[in-house]
Amino acid sequence: SSIYGDYIKSVIRTVPDWPQPGVNFRDITPLLQNSAAFRKLIDSFVHRYQELEVDAIAAIDARGFIVGAPLAYELGCSFVPVRKKGKLPFKTISETYTLEYGESTVELHSDAFREHDRIVIIDDLIATGGTMLAAASLIARSGGHIVELASILDLPELGGSAKIREAGYSVFSVCS
Ligand code: PRP
Ligand code: HPA
């Protein structure tokens, strides 16, 4: 985690029993409403990646876009959306993964970046890790070099970040 980790964590709200009984939903909207906190958040990612020669930030639909776009802007690299099925208009590759109940599919444009480009994948939160691993698979299949998978918040008790590390990727979260 970053030096601002405890502060960032303090501005994430927990909403009990949403979207269903027994789930504690981690809500980042108070963090986004707080301009000082949002700046510290983006600065944490910029600081971590500015010397690593990143070619593209691949951000995950939808909340990953909120952090991915300002990060790409600050790093002066490209922004690549990894989107839910049916949203990207050009030629796509897709990856289907299992959720707690059912499945989901994410897609990437076939011309999103060049082979061997250095990519950081970013999202708001790692729960089971399924979404991040599906995105990583898309990037790897397209010939990208994955520098790291990054999130604002990790929920380690759900095992996602451990699973991602077992798959051989580096993971960075601002807080957990
Ligand atoms: C949430 C979250 C991550 C994913 C984490 O997205 O933003 O993308 O779930 O869960 P996992 O680690 O178990 O895969 P959601 O599908 O709710 O989409 P949204 O950003 O469009 O709200
Ligand atoms: N908050 C936000 N998104 C999520 C969560 C959560 O607690 N769990 C899975 N996706």
ipTM of model: 0.96
**pLDDT at 140 > cutoff 90:** yes
Report pLDDT for 100. Answer: 77
Is any atom of ligand 2 closer than 6 Å to the C-beta of 58?
Answer: no
Nearest to 149 by CA among 35, 67, 77: 67
pLDDT tier for residue 1 given thresholds of 50, 70 and 90: confident
For residue range 22-66, list pLDDT tens digits in order.
Answer: 999 999 999 999 999 999 999 999 999 999 999 999 999 999 999
Query: What does the domain layout of the chain look like in residue ranges?
Result: 53-175
Element spanning 24, H or E:
strand 24-27
Ligand 1 centroid distance, CA of 125 (Å): 7
CATH topology of domain 53-175: Rossmann fold (3.40.50)
Nearest atom in ligand 1 to 124's CA: 7
What is the percent of the chain with per-residue pLDDT over 90, rounded to a whole number?
97
* Residue 48 CA, ligand 1 centroid: distance in Å: 23
Do 49 and 56 form a contact (C-beta atoms < 8 A)? no
Residue with the nearest Cα to atom 5 of ligand 2? 25
